[in-house]
Structure 1
Amino acid sequence: MTATTHARAEEHEHHTHGPGCGHESVVHNDHVDYFHGGHAHREHAGHYDECTTCQCSNCEGACAGCRCTDCTCPNCNHGTCSCTNCGGESCANCTCADCDCPTCAHGG
């Protein structure tokens, strides 16, 4: 078993990320990222971590915010969802519990 390094995000006094918190949010695979101060935070074990940074040569930001059409980063998911519920929505935004799309990587 290997240990995964988590880059813990800075604390925000009197603020918890969630619906209506005022920060832009996007589904990124099996979690939600909240954009704050030029980076993305994701909830992890009762605190927030910095989410992954896009590894393609065109980006410098978080994978959740990557809009490259030719992205090669293994952590980004730009595919178009093929399940019947999404109607052509991006895989990165799919939250269907019964999704059968082969390119979606969310927890459902």
Structure 2
Amino acid sequence: MGTLGCINDMLQRDKENRELRKLNKERMKEHHKYLVNKEKNINLSNISIETIEEIRKNTIAKEQSDQIYLFKAYIIFAICLLGLFLLGILCYKLFF
């Protein structure tokens, strides 16, 4: 009797999950349509060329600063790995 109840419970949960997946799929479609339509309503004609150039300049500066930061992080990571490697060699020479 207990097993039959578990099976029925699993079947009921599967049915509920199927319905929830359908609802979530519909919500995602509606949200996608909303985002697509929102993008169409943007009017870029009222933005001046100077503003666009300033945005582009700021974007390039930000990308360059991000690249420099990432390069520094890679260097620090490489130095730490090298230090651990040398420490391992030192421990190996001392104890073995």
User: Is the pair's TM-score, using the shorter chain for normalization, greater than 0.5?
Assistant: no
Structure with the higher fraction of residues in helix conformation? 2
Q: What is the TM-score normalised by the length of structure 2?
A: 0.17
Q: What is the TM-score normalised by the length of structure 1?
A: 0.16
Structure with the higher fraction of residues in strand conformation? 1
Greater Rg by CA: 2
RCO (CA 8 Å, sep 6+): is it higher in 1 or 2? 1
